[in-house]
Amino acid sequence: MTESQTGLIANRYRLGTLIAGGGMGQVWRGRDTLLDRPVAVKVLRDQFAADPAFRTRFRAEAQHAATLTHPHIAAVFDYGEQPGSPGTPPVAYLVMELVEGESLADVLHREGHLDVPRTLDVLRQAADGLGAAHAAGVVHRDIKPANLLVGRDGRVKLTDFGIARSAASVAITATGQVLGTAHYLSPEQASGRPASPASDVYALGAVGYECLTGRRAFEGESAVQIAVMQIREHPDPLPAAVPPAVRALVERAMAKDPAVRFPDGTALRDGVDAVLAGASATALPATAVLPVVPAAAAVPAAGAVPATAATAVAAPEDRPRRRRWPVVLLVAALLGAAGVGIVASALRDGAPPATAEETAPEEPAGIDVVAADLLGRPVREVQAELIGRGLRVELVPVETADATAGTVTAVGPTGTLPADSLVRLTYAVPPVPEPEPVPAPVPAPLPAPAPADEGNGGGGNGNEGNQGNGNGNQGNGNGNGKDDDEDKKDDEEGGGDEEGGGDDE
């Protein structure tokens, strides 16, 4: 669909300017004329719309994304297909939440790279959204900067579940077909194996690498070459200025073996939280399959310099040291630093590292939930706040005209709650107006019966007053008012107009 072809879709969505274009479709700024609100409308490209397989995949985007409700996932409002103009394929469209901002790809193109705190903020929000998708059984399979939208308020939202699939569903693509962008493709996907939540973690780790370095982890002359590099090679080390725990976080997310990575988005989010909280590297969520590191390697003396690729493991002479991150180095980075809050001190104004006693977090006494602080606020804002404080949230819509639509009207339970408690947020939705009663249709009056013909009591043909009627008896066509002899006599006298004509005069 070209810009000159845009207009009103489904007699409801008016398209405006083109926002972005991807491999499968184009995203337009639009307006829902029924609800009078801005929306984003993704339209399948014309060259694909005629293919039922592509439309099936596009429809799956709507089905998968519609199951996900989360502050860091762009909401899906509607999906449909409508016939195109003569000689053109049908128009398949997806109506989504319009995020006022830009993609992370645009941010990186403009700024080059991001600093450590900002990178961690992006990773934390995106991982939180991925965790919700993974909990619902959905694997995104195409995490990349272009699919991370950054709002003007700094909120990150995942979008484009166009090639996602439910872990419980049958794959749409043919066996061996690889979907996704090669620069962020996990080794198992590049090898033709099924994607898993850990595959999304790898892709998000590659996004973090790009944010910190200003370049992609792998570059090649073709997608196939890049996919082979994903399987066989390791990216160059992160800049030396990146704190060790942040380095360990990204390296673990990009581990070649899915079992060594964070298992899903929630685990990666928890890892980012541990780094942001200034906990020691050992506070990063553990994976059972990680090899055990000797105590001497795992807990260096206080103040010791963390191990590097040059000091931890000597690479064999027959292997290049470039692009090799030994597993021992990864684990040492995760478990090292002797319980010292290295990253916290690096992020806090360059203060010197604190001891474990100074940085050990206190046991939380609970999370205070005060209804008065939450009522009347936008439900999405309150939901994000409570989730960020370690609570689970259930949304309960209630139709009411006494509160602004989308605002919180009730909260429960309140008080001091344990972490991971479930809080129900009741929010207002506008009541659906009752349809106006439609008056019953007035039946049409029955036609008046034709006056009886004195000369033809039952019906005959060709008499005056019955001209043009082939069978003059209403409802029967065989005059039954006289016996057969009289009918015959009438026919002889009247001329027998079988064709509905006849005029005796």
Confidence of residue 134 (pLDDT cuts 50, 70, 90): very high
- Pick from 223-237, 352-366, 401-415: least confident: 352-366
346-378 confidence digits (pLDDT tens): 323 333 333 333 333 344 468 889 999 999 998
Confidence of residue 440 (pLDDT cuts 50, 70, 90): low
Confidence of residue 435 (pLDDT cuts 50, 70, 90): low
Q: Check whether 150 has a pLDDT greater than 90.
A: yes
Instruction: Using the structure block, give the residue that is written with the tokens 């105590």.
Output: 295
Q: Which CATH architecture has domain 367-429?
A: 2-Layer Sandwich (3.30)
State the Cα–Cα distance between residues 56 and 49, nearest whole angstrom: 10
- What average pLDDT score do residues 81-85 get? 84
- What average pLDDT score do residues 109-135 get? 96
Q: Please say if 142 is a catalytic residue.
A: yes
- Closest CA relative to residue 155, chosen from 133, 127, 126, 134: 126
277-318 confidence digits (pLDDT tens): 875 545 555 443 333 333 333 333 333 333 333 223 333 333
Predicted TM-score (pTM) of the model is: 0.55
Q: CATH class for domain 101-358?
A: mainly alpha
Mean pLDDT rounded to a whole number for the chain: 73
What is the pLDDT at residue 246? 95
What is the pLDDT at residue 241? 92
Number of residues that this document lists for the chain: 505
What is the pLDDT at residue 21? 79
Which residues partner with 73 through β-bridges? Answer: 158
Q: How many CB atoms lie within 10 A of CB 418?
A: 11
Q: Regarding beta strands 148-151 and 367-369, do their DSSP bridges make them parallel or antiparallel, or are they unpaired? A: unpaired
Q: How far apart are the first and last CA of the chain?
A: 71
17-68 confidence digits (pLDDT tens): 998 877 678 899 999 999 999 999 988 887 777 888 777 877 877 787 888 9
What is the pLDDT at residue 219? 93
Q: Check whether 480 has a pLDDT greater than 90.
A: no
Q: CATH class for domain 3-96?
A: alpha beta
Q: Regarding beta strands 422-429 and 392-399, do their DSSP bridges make them parallel or antiparallel, or are they unpaired? A: parallel
Tell me the domain boundaries of the chain.
3-96, 101-358, 367-429, 454-498
- Closest CA relative to residue 327, chosen from 396, 401, 252: 252
The sign one gets for the Cα dihedral 289, 290, 291, 292 is negative
Burial of 454 (0-12, 13-18, 19+ CB in 10 A): exposed
The sign one gets for the Cα dihedral 72, 289, 342, 240 is negative
- Closest CA relative to residue 24, chosen from 51, 54, 4, 52: 54
Q: Of the residues 121, 142, 160, 497, which is catalytic?
A: 142
Q: Check whether 421 has a pLDDT greater than 80.
A: yes
Please, what is the Cα angle at 347 between 116 and 126, to 5 degrees?
40
What is the pLDDT at residue 492? 52
What is the pLDDT at residue 430? 85
DSSP character string of 199-216: HHHHHHHHHHHHHHHSS-
